[in-house]
Amino acid sequence: MKHTLSLCRSALRASRAGNAFPAALASSRPANSRGALNWRHGGIPSGAGLSSVSSNRSADELLTELQNIFKQEGVTCLGSLSATWFQKADENVSKALDPAEFRATMTEHGLAMSDSECDTLFRHFDEDSSGGITYGEFAKGLRGKMPEFSASLAFMHQFPGHFPSNMSMLRAARPSFDVSETQEWVESLEAVVKHGGKTRARFLLHELLEEANRLGVAIAQPAVTPMVNTIPTSQQPAYPGDRETEMKISNIVRWNAAVMVSDANKRGGGVGGHIGTFASICDFYEVGQNHIWRGKGYGGGHGDSVWLQGHAAPGPYSRAFLEGRLRLEQIMNFRRESEGKGVSSYPHPRLMPDFWENPTVSMGLGPLGAVYQARFFRYLHLRGLADTSKSRVWCFMGDGESDEPESVTAIQVAGREKLNNFIMILNANYQRLDGPVRGNSKIIQEAEGVYRGAGFDVIKVIWGGKFNELIEADHDGKLIEALEHTPDGDCQRLHAKADGALVRKDIFEKHGLLDRVAHWSDDELLEAFQMPGGHDHEKIYAAMRQAELNAEMGGRPTVIIVKTLKGYSLQSFLGRNTVHQKKKMDDADMKSFRDAMGIPLTDAQLRVPEAHNILALPDGSSELAYMQEHRNKLGGYLPTREPCKVSALIDIPGHDVYSMFDAGSKGRELSTTMVFAQVLRKMMQAGEFGKRISLMVTDESRTFGLDTFFPVFKIHAPFGQNYTPVDADQMLKYAEAPDGQILQEGISEGGAIMTWIASATSYASQKSPTLPFMIYYSMFGFQRVGDSIWQACDMRARGFLIGATYGRTTLNGEGLQHQDGHSLLMAHTFPAVKGYDPAFGYEMAAIVENGVKEMWGEDKDVIYYITAYNENYVQPEMPEGCLEGIIRGLYKFKDAEPAEHTVRLVSSGSIMMQALNAIPILKEYGVGCEIWSATSFSELQREAIKTDRQARLGGQVVKPWVSQCLGDGSVTVAVTDNVTSWPKLIDQYVGGEYIVLGADAFGRSDAREALRRFHEIDTESVVVAALRGLANAGKIPSSVPEEAIAKFGFKVEKPDITEV
């Protein structure tokens, strides 16, 4: 190694005496080229300016002419408007354009055609020659050839872990020491690359790093670079905006955001809120709004998706108020939503469906959701469902939030998937809710190592312009080293104390560097120190612009690690450990903040927390015009949520797709899990509707009977299948493809549910509806990712969660951690979730069919949770007239045979077999059995509560469905493979004796028969319960159940469930 370097350095010295080698080397260095962005915005064309009619134009010529018409109207993105046009054009709501509708649409938008030309263009769109143009065909034909998704897809064949960076030519301003010697080392490395190749150079550098460690050089983490700005001042692009105008706007946004929270709490009610978080990211937010973030009309997708820190919600409200999108009444009712006048505490699409898109305040879920959304945007693109080539996902994350396991996973997934459309902004204000994030170390440096190790491009924005002058003048690296050795806790203290003399003493004097700041007064030093990079608009823009370039031309995700100050511009808040809990500004705070922001309010006005404290921009003001101009250029306002009306776009299949089990299984034994797989397969084969189904599996496809899907629908793999699978010679081979429909999530329910959410909300995020089915071991659903499912409800998700291998005793061998009997009860606590527990195949199909109708036929924002069991039994024929009861939650499956006494047996899921098996035994006791199938105790109770309220408040008295079915006073026994609390939801609405059997104890491994006897939900337990109910009702002697108890071997004594 040393010999190689010596040869290279000798060659370089010789070259300076006349050899041309260095010049050749210099000419071989790649230029630092930067691609210019094509800024575009969309809009609805007016249709003005009819084209001249020629009788023989081709389809391509007609499309070109149509595009030229749109360009005259300022429209550059056709695909993003297709949903709006289709819905408007489809006058007869047939979900397909007939030739007359198609021609009327084209004529309206300025394209006049002869009859033959219209037929030519119609056939161009009508790919399947059906005589009607579906929404998918319309969008595809209008959009044209799908552009390449990203540069990262072109790098798939390179060595793993060495995907290119778009930032290779950026060189930070580090200490040079001896300039000539530094240049000589750089040129030596270039010589090694030229003569020995890149591989030799790479391993040589590994050797050097190891040697450095052996010599005690502090470079143990090569992924961490010196604590300097990644982009030096000399390479910053020119700032594109009017700084003075932007500062005025920023000051008003910052003021309104803080006063909104403070005054709301002064008016009483203890509504809470947060001031410090938005204060720390306001500058980043404003630069993004003015110059970076793409709105819904930008083109190449449905705009950027911005995931903001939840605690910063007052900032977007403040800006939206200035833009005229929120009313003063809403701002004055911050966190007062009950009467429909206010705004929500955090980003909540459920509560503000036209404003917020992405809920983020459950720490860690925002970053994880953002990453999987970026991944799903690529999935949509590669499957040809939507052009998302210009949609980026920007996610803000606090440095404290980065400790969440979900946040850590998000980083790893983004790097592994090479999501160059994903940009993380790590807000390093050094503080979490109680105190410093890393008081004893450096969170920025730690984070850099994590992100670089995961495969991110890292942009550090640490120092503002003035303080950065000291950094870039640091000729020997001693100042940088001093700052790297100053713990974050001390930095926070210095910012909070705001004392220039203390900064001089604790940083510069302590490290013998007083000469570096001798030319500054204490006030000048403090001013520079109190303006980190995260509050310098020029530094921010440079970082965000570079991140844009990385997204367009790089092969990695990007993180911008930005140093900010929590509570910036509010000195009594800034850097304090209590800043997160500070909800109010006192008089002194208000006055100093007003003066700093230049707000034209008097002292008297500040003391009264009323509407005059919220500033608006008058119509016609230059500031308002500036905001509108920049947002129009970027495609519209953000945040904005614009869902498409799925019912107007997609034709859902008829009953024939779901009818395969209406006649039963004809003697064949099947589990409801296998039933689901067969129904889903037929759905996925149902034309355009089927193409829009997305299936997520968590590495258990064979368990759920889905392995047959692999060769047909294929597993999504953005870089293709670059290996030969071990089962390549088999019919059910493991097949992967970029346009694969199945999303194989591996052993990650947390990741799968985020993919599911991205799909379940794509009807809004990209106006490209997809219908997700996530099938998983039921125990690892609501119990493991319940917080994410709650987030899905907030986001107005639409889709199916299939809790497979359900049942405390049906999944017999797996034991305590797998046997689920409580997820249906947990699902009941989620207002937007409908939980079902089907026993039979036709029930499963009917529930799925109804879910599709509600979600896509009626545009309801609901989630269906359906259990599926792995116990095989013959599936019966569908009884006549039971469909209403299946959906409402209860219907009579079988009438009782004539007998002296009658009981009702109510059951669900696979335990229905135990109820049916009890019929002949009870017949021996002279008891006939009515059998009722309870598909959803949850839906029964919800409807009953609704009717109760209506009657209580003097409305129409309606008897709930459960009382109509079970309210006559008969003896009723309910038995399920759930905890007893699930059937007990309807207790008060059941007439007569109501006995509930369930599995309340922990699961365990054993045969099904033994487990059902242990939990007392087997056939004999049903018999004993029925007899006891009849005895309690005085219809049979008490000795009858006593004799049955003895006969079947039951014992009265049983340990408490906490002991077993």
Q: What is the DSSP string of 428-470?
A: E-SB-SSSBSSTTS-HHHHHHHHHHHHT-EEEEE-B-HHHHHH
Q: Cβ of 181: how many Cβ atoms within 10 Å?
A: 10
**CB of 121 within 8 A of CB of 109?**
no
What is the Cα Rg of the chain in Å? 34
**Residue 539, both tokens:** 């530094």
For the stretch 268-290, pLDDT in tens is: 878 988 888 898 999 999 999 99
Q: For residue 14, name the pLDDT band (cuts at 50, 70, 90).
A: very low
Angle at 953 between CA 948 and CA 955, to 5 degrees: 80
Q: How far is CA 350 from the centre of its chain?
A: 15
Tell me how far CA of residue 980 lies from CA of 871, 944, 1002, 1015, in angstroms: 21, 19, 13, 11
Q: For residue 319, name the pLDDT band (cuts at 50, 70, 90).
A: very high
Burial of 737 (0-12, 13-18, 19+ CB in 10 A): middle
φ and ψ of 935, to 5 deg: -70, -25
Give the single-character DSSP code of 804. E
Burial of 1010 (0-12, 13-18, 19+ CB in 10 A): middle
**CB of 83 within 8 A of CB of 644?**
yes
**Residue 646, both tokens:** 């799925």
For the stretch 153-199, pLDDT in tens is: 554 444 334 456 778 778 788 787 888 888 888 899 999 999 988 87
Q: For residue 225, name the pLDDT band (cuts at 50, 70, 90).
A: confident
Looking from the CA of 227 toward its CB, the CA atoms found within 13 Å total 23
Angle at 698 between CA 555 and CA 769, to 5 degrees: 65
Question: Cβ contacts of residue 595 below 8 Å, gap of 6+?
Answer: none
Q: For residue 638, name the pLDDT band (cuts at 50, 70, 90).
A: very high
SS (H, E, C) 645-681: CHHHCCCCCCHHHCHHHCCCCCCCEECHHHHHHHHHH
Q: Which residue do the tokens 């997700």 mark? A: 772
3-state secondary structure of 48: coil
For the stretch 101-116, pLDDT in tens is: 888 888 888 888 999 9
**Residue 173, both tokens:** 């301003």
Q: Mean pLDDT across the stretch 382-396?
A: 96
Q: Identify which has the larger pLDDT, 738 or 164.
A: 738
Q: Mean pLDDT across the stretch 868-892?
A: 97
Closest listed residue to residue 932, CA positions, set 888, 901, 898? 888
Q: Please check the confidence at residue 608 and state whether its pLDDT lies above 70.
A: yes
Q: Identify which has the larger pLDDT, 470 or 576.
A: 470
| E strand segments, 763-869 | 771-777, 799-804, 833-836, 863-867
Residue 241 is predicted with a pLDDT of 96
Q: What value does the mean pLDDT of the chain take?
A: 89
Q: Please check the confidence at residue 459 and state whether its pLDDT lies above 90.
A: yes
Q: How far apart are CA 523 and CA 158, in angstroms?
A: 53
Q: How far apart are CA 594 and CA 602, in angstroms?
A: 9
Do you find a cis peptide bond into 639, omega within 30 degrees of 0? yes
Q: How far apart are CA 500 and CA 507, in angstroms?
A: 11
Q: For residue 75, name the pLDDT band (cuts at 50, 70, 90).
A: low
Conformational region of residue 430, where left means phi above 0, alpha means psi within -120 to 50, and beta covers everything else = left
Q: Please check the confidence at residue 1005 and state whether its pLDDT lies above 50.
A: yes
Closest listed residue to residue 872, CA positions, set 674, 1022, 659? 674
Q: Please check the confidence at residue 313 and state whether its pLDDT lies above 50.
A: yes
Q: How far apart are CA 1007 and CA 385, in angstroms?
A: 47
Give 716's strand partners: 737
Q: How far apart are CA 683 and CA 849, in angstroms?
A: 10
Which alpha helices (DSSP H) does 73-178 contain, by range? Answer: 82-89, 99-108, 115-125, 135-143
Q: How far apart are CA 49 and CA 52, in angstroms?
A: 9
Q: Please check the confidence at residue 48 and state whether its pLDDT lies above 60.
A: no
Measure CA of the first residue to CA of the last residue in the chain; give whole Å: 66
Name the residue type at position 601.
L
**Residue 1036, both tokens:** 């049979």
When mean pLDDT is compared across 31-40, 687-696, 912-921, the lowest value belongs to 31-40
φ and ψ of 595, to 5 deg: -65, -40
- Cα dihedral: 707, 708, 709, 713 (round 10): 130
3-state secondary structure of 265: helix
Q: For residue 44, name the pLDDT band (cuts at 50, 70, 90).
A: very low
Q: How far apart are CA 951 and CA 954, in angstroms?
A: 5
Q: How far apart are CA 587 and CA 898, in angstroms?
A: 83
Residue 80 is predicted with a pLDDT of 54
When mean pLDDT is compared across 27-41, 141-155, 483-497, 597-611, the lowest value belongs to 27-41
**Residue 357, both tokens:** 């898109």
Q: Please check the confidence at residue 842 and state whether its pLDDT lies above 80.
A: yes
**CB of 904 within 8 A of CB of 973?**
yes
Q: Please check the confidence at residue 31 and state whether its pLDDT lies above 60.
A: no
- Beta-strand relationship, 927-933 and 891-894: antiparallel
Cα dihedral across residues 493, 495, 501, 507: positive or negative: positive
Residue 81 is predicted with a pLDDT of 58
Closest listed residue to residue 924, CA positions, set 1052, 1051, 1047? 1047
**CB of 565 within 8 A of CB of 494?**
no
**CB of 574 within 8 A of CB of 481?**
no
Q: Mean pLDDT across the stretch 683-695?
A: 97
**CB of 556 within 8 A of CB of 165?**
yes
pTM metric for this prediction:
0.88
Q: How far apart are CA 936 and CA 933, in angstroms?
A: 9
Report the number of secondary-structure helices (H) and strands (E) in the chain: 39, 22
Residue 211 is predicted with a pLDDT of 84
Q: Identify which has the larger pLDDT, 918 or 67.
A: 918
Residue 425 is predicted with a pLDDT of 97
Q: How far apart are CA 414 and CA 417, in angstroms?
A: 5
Q: How far apart are CA 970 and CA 548, in angstroms?
A: 70
Which alpha helices (DSSP H) does 829-911 contain, by range? Answer: 841-852, 883-888
**CB of 129 within 8 A of CB of 169?**
no
Q: Please check the confidence at residue 575 and state whether its pLDDT lies above 70.
A: yes
Q: How far apart are CA 909 and CA 903, in angstroms?
A: 20
Give 865's strand partners: 801, 835
Q: How far apart are CA 767 and CA 664, in angstroms?
A: 39
Q: Please check the confidence at residue 449 and state whether its pLDDT lies above 80.
A: yes
For the stretch 753-808, pLDDT in tens is: 999 999 999 999 999 999 999 999 999 999 999 999 999 999 999 999 999 999 99
3-state secondary structure of 715: strand
Q: Mean pLDDT across the stretch 654-675?
A: 96
3-state secondary structure of 184: helix
Residue 219 is predicted with a pLDDT of 64
**CB of 159 within 8 A of CB of 202?**
no
Share of the chain above pLDDT 90, in %: 70
Would you mind telling me the total number of residues written for the chain in this entry?
Answer: 1060
3-state secondary structure of 737: strand
Closest listed residue to residue 759, CA positions, set 378, 301, 406? 378
Which alpha helices (DSSP H) does 881-987 contain, by range? Answer: 883-888, 912-924, 937-952, 961-966
Give 427's strand partners: 398, 562
3-state secondary structure of 177: coil
Residue 154 is predicted with a pLDDT of 53
Residue 572 is predicted with a pLDDT of 78
Residue 300 is predicted with a pLDDT of 82
